[in-house]
């Protein structure tokens, strides 16, 4: 029983190595961590945010949520249970969550740890093989365990809405020089510690459907080869009941739990979040027949060729060793009203 003692250096390293494997928009890895006894502070890194493409910081918080989930998995492997509290201190605006370590729990999280390094964003064409029903049910359960819902886009009408909204998002994104310039900083070329290398972009889609996002931001990447993708991509929307930074942090944990569960089932996964990034388009992919939900992510699942991992920053770069406080937060430029929509009662457990 490990929980009697605070994490030692080996525990801390194991948890950090798990956390940094999380997916993040454009592989920005916008996180920093500080250990304080039985607590792990999770901080946003304002130098790694995307003000043009992610003005409300929705994707930032979803990415941070994914890292929190991996931290929980890493903690479970080292014999700790974890309870997450969100936005705990208004005087420390960069501190987005506190992961409190305690007695081990029988939550099955440690069983997901072998898949941390195997999970990847796979932008290659998938085969037409259908996902077994049992795997679909288990992916739904993974989302529900993290207070989110996974909605399969099986009905042609919902796929059509996604297709139309994605086309609009592509047009808006293509027209924005700010967005393209920002993306160029993070996407393309060879990458050693962060960003999305050209080799991870996958081929361009030779067809017309909505299958993968073409993230190319440079001329050579825009001219890469084309390929035929699966005719009927197996798509699902991850949705939450409410919206705001705390829900985004929860959605990120649900996203990563679903992705790891999918990896456990031998599935390849990718994300098509372009629509989610646009407030005026996001509602179009809601389920008109279901209860009102807030879409937080669009997944593609299937069977694809293996792809190499994307790079990560060394863990020494993501550790905060000193105490942080309001003065610390004041040293960096603050983005636009990112926490505006945080509910008054900003603390809750998972
Ligand atoms: C919130 C969020 C949004 C993302 N949106 C997209 C997307 O729209 N299209 C895409 O191809 N990848 C998307 N990704 C995947 C990231 O690009 C990917 O996680 C990152 O490059 C690291 O690579 P990895 O997932 O293979 O570890 C997103 C990831 C996160 C966490």
115-124 pLDDT, tens per residue? 999 999 999 9
Q: What is the CATH architecture assignment of 133-302?
A: 3-Layer(aba) Sandwich (3.40)
* Ligand 1 within 6 A of CB of 258: no
Ligand 1 centroid to Cα of residue 251, in Å, is 14
* pLDDT value for 208: 80
* Ligand 1 within 6 A of CB of 272: yes
Buried-exposed string 121-154: b where 16+ CB fall within 10 A, e elsewhere = bbbbbbeeeebeeebbeebbebbebbbbbbbbbe
Q: Do domains 2-113+316-329 and 133-302 have the same CATH topology?
A: yes
Tell me the whole-structure pTM to 2 decimals.
Answer: 0.93
Q: Give the length of the chain.
A: 350
Residues 54, 176: contact at Cβ < 8 Å? no
Summarised one tens digit per residue, pLDDT across range 79-128 is: 999 999 998 899 999 999 999 999 999 999 999 999 999 999 999 999 99
Give the closest residue (by CA) to ligand 1 atom 21.
27
Summarised one tens digit per residue, pLDDT across range 52-82 is: 999 999 999 999 999 999 999 999 999 999 9
- Sign for the pseudo-dihedral over CA of 34, 28, 237, 95: positive
Q: Which of 273, 297, 308 to mutate to test the pocket of ligand 1 (most atoms within 8 A of CB)?
A: 273
Ligand 1 centroid to Cα of residue 271, in Å, is 6
Residues 77, 12: contact at Cβ < 8 Å? no
Q: Strand pairing partners for 269?
A: 121, 301
Query: Of the CATH numbers 3.30.70.20, 3.40.605.10, 3.40.109.10, 3.30.465.10, which one belongs to the domain with range 2-113+316-329?
Result: 3.40.109.10
* Ligand 1 within 6 A of CB of 59: yes
Mean pLDDT of the chain: 90
Q: In which residue are the tokens 């029988």 written?
A: 106
Per-residue pLDDT of the chain (350 residues; tens, 9 = 90+): 467 799 999 999 999 999 999 999 999 999 999 999 999 999 999 999 999 999 999 999 999 999 999 999 999 999 999 999 998 899 999 999 999 999 999 999 999 999 999 999 999 999 999 999 999 999 999 999 999 999 999 999 999 999 999 999 988 888 889 999 999 999 999 999 999 999 999 999 998 877 788 899 999 999 999 999 999 999 999 999 999 999 999 999 999 999 999 999 999 999 999 999 898 999 889 887 777 789 999 999 999 999 999 999 999 999 999 877 664 543 333 333 333 333 323 333 22
* Ligand 1 within 6 A of CB of 28: no
Q: Of ligand 1's atoms, which has the minimum distance to the CA of residue 63?
A: 31
- The first and second tokens of residue 339, run together, are 């926490």
Residue 238, classed as helix, strand or coil, is: strand
* pLDDT value for 100: 98
Q: Where are the domains of the chain?
A: 2-113+316-329, 133-302
Query: What string of DSSP letters covers 295-306?
Result: EEEEEEEE----
Q: In which residue are the tokens 């996407």 written?
A: 187
């Amino acid at each position: 029983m490990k929980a009697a003692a605070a994490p030692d250096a080996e525990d801390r390293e194991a948890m950090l190595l798990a956390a940094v494997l999380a997916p993040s928009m454009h592989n920005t890895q916008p996180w920093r961590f500080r250990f304080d006894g039985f607590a792990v502070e999770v901080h946003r890194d304002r130098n790694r945010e995307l003000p043009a493409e992610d003005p409300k910081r929705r994707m930032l918080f979803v990415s941070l949520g994914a890292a929190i989930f991996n931290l929980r998995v890493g903690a479970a492997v080292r014999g700790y249970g974890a309870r997450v509290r969100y936005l705990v201190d208004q005087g420390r605006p960069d501190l987005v969550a506190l992961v409190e370590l305690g007695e081990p729990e029988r939550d099955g999280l440690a069983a997901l740890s072998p898949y941390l390094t195997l999970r990847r964003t796979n932008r290659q064409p998938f085969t037409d093989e259908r996902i077994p029903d049992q795997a679909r049910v288990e992916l739904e359960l993974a989302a529900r365990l993290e207070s989110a819902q996974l909605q399969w886009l099986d009905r042609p009408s919902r796929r059509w809405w996604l297709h139309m909204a994605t086309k609009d998002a592509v047009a808006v994104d293509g027209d924005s020089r700010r967005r393209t310039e920002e993306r160029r900083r993070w996407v393309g070329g060879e990458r050693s510690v962060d960003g999305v290398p050209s080799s991870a972009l996958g081929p361009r889609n030779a067809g017309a459907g909505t299958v993968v996002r073409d993230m190319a931001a440079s001329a050579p990447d825009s001219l890469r080869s084309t390929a035929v993708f699966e005719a009927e991509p197996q798509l699902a929307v991850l949705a939450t009941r409410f919206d705001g930074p705390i829900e985004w942090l929860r959605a990120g944990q649900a996203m990563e739990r679903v992705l790891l569960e999918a990896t456990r089932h031998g599935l390849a996964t990718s994300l098509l979040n372009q629509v989610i990034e646009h407030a005026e388009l996001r509602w179009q992919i809601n389920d008109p027949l279901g209860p009102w939900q807030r879409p937080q992510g669009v997944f593609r699942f299937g069977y694809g060729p293996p792809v190499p991992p994307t790079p990560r920053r060394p863990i020494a770069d993501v550790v905060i060793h000193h105490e942080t406080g309001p003065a610390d937060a004041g040293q960096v430029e603050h983005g636009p009203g990112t926490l505006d929509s945080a509910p008054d009662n900003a603390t809750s457990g998972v």
